[in-house]
Structure 1
Amino acid sequence: MATIPEDTPKGLFSRLRQGLARSREQLAGGVGRLVLGKKVIDADLLEELEALLLQADLGSAATREVMDSVTERVRRNELTDPAALQAALRESLLDILRPRAQPWSPEKGHSQVLLMVGINGAGKTTTIGKLAARWKAEGFTVVLAAGDTFRAAAVEQLQGWGRRAQVPVVAQGTGADSASVIFDALTTTRARGSDLLIADTAGRLHTQGHLMEELKKIRRVLGKQDPEAPQQIWLVLDAGTGQNALNQARQFHDAVGLTGICITKLDGTAKGGVVAAIAKALPIPIRYIGVGEQVEDLRPFDPESFVDALFAESKS
């Protein structure tokens, strides 16, 4: 059955907190050690805080915004206690993240297309499978397109997710034209009256111009059936790549016009700060984050829960 295991909000937060453990140690743990024994917030402490934020992969733009906010509050004597730095940092991060929290789900009976893109190894196909399982459990009708025709196991992997989520998968042989596969899948989706087609694409480096052109071709071919398709183009990023993920996002956005980002593998890295780096640098919604292997560990991005999990000491 395509079901998402029920869990309480407390249990969901516990899983999120566990998934972000390494990033929490890097960021919140680092701030805690930084202020230990300090009586005042002075220039040296602020300089150390800035270095810590950069090490936590917040990136230069987000770090600058946080430091400007903290420094201004110190100047106005609104922030004087080093022990209050974590709370101040939390609020500054929320200011950066909240504008990027824009949930999206399919619409009944509209046969929308969600095109998934990204580099090899980011977790694109797995993310597609988890999204299909989630939306099927929520009552939407979903079709998958095996548009990654170059990686030997990609079609089989997607078909495995199709069986698990109980959704059909449209596929052709290895080496088939990706645009043709996805075009056929949209034909099937519309004939069935299904709500959503999620199309996999071959992993490609953001620096591979000819493969980026292939994505543009897929868009053109889909447009022949439906001028509005694809309605969504989401980039899947591996959080462990740190600041390189930001470079990927910029170049994919320039090439195809992203409408969403999914950030995976946050449970395997201390670089969770890259979520803030991306949120600050790009006007693209962060749709989902991945904090574990289970279907329910791919979750809609919620800034408050994310920041709480980065800083909370004992919530569970």
Structure 2
Amino acid sequence: MANLPLKNIIFHFLIILLILVVQTKARQLDIHYYEHSCPQAERIIRHVVHDATLHDSKVAPRILRMFFHDCFVRGCDASVLLDSTDDNIAEKDGPPNKSLRSYYVIDEVKARLEEACPHTVSCADIIAIAARDVVILSGGPYWEVYKGRKDGKISRANETLGLPRPSFSSSKLIEIFSSKGLGIKDLVTLSGGHTLGFAHCASFEARLHRYNDYFDIDPTMDIIFANMLKKKCANRHKRDNNAGYYLDSTSSIFDNEYYKRLVAGKGVLGSDQALYNDYRSKFLVESYAKYEALFFMEFTTSMIKLGNLGVNNHHHGEIRRNCRHVN
């Protein structure tokens, strides 16, 4: 290497450094992390989540969304679970997280784990495992969850303003995902989690009335579908503030129906329909609409990537005894 130009030496050094960083991050998480310290952890989580979904159909989409929103802000550190205090408004009280709810499920899981294995399983790992379990319970694919995350100590509501919004263009979504180290495939694949989602009228009404100077209704929408949504949201402020529509016609089943609806121009959210209207992502939407098995396979890969975002190590995190408060 002594005869190589300096820029080549620097390049090789940076590559080696990058490999070491990746390997170090990979060692932080392990499929078998609780094999000896709390072997019953996943069974306890699965049992509580299963019971909760039987009693409330909204638990599955809320926990899946909770995982997305947690990882996208400060990494997967359970900062979304922290309660606000007198001197700080936490993430859960930020505008995008007002509708998450179902925190009680995580509270119940944590209480049982503290009885079985005190101060052992992190809240961040609980969310990651619970998100996997609600997908399986809804008919979706299984994947091994890498564990060993630590819980963060900081949670700020203003940081949730950077989360993807229903009105974002595909370019804006691609930019946000890229900033997290996630590609277009991850964007399209993870958006498939909306197969379990529900949207309030406020999230899509702008597409139905005075869309722009040329169209009253978003021209990318199926007109019959758009008129149906108009009726659903008519006078919502007077009658039902919770009015809205499911993002998928099979709302309790994890399948590829979400993508089929995008192809048909029946995406509820503008940000969802934009994925089909952009040449960079259209072919992925079409592929997932045709091949559910392909969507399932890619979804597990992208969920593992998402779960690796901003993983806390032992020096910067802790294992909370109560997921709502730092120790």
TM-score norm. by structure 1 comes to 0.29
Of Structure 1 and Structure 2, which has the larger fraction of its residues in strand? 1
TM-score norm. by structure 2 comes to 0.28
Highest relative contact order (Cα 8 Å, sep 6+), 1 or 2?
Answer: 1
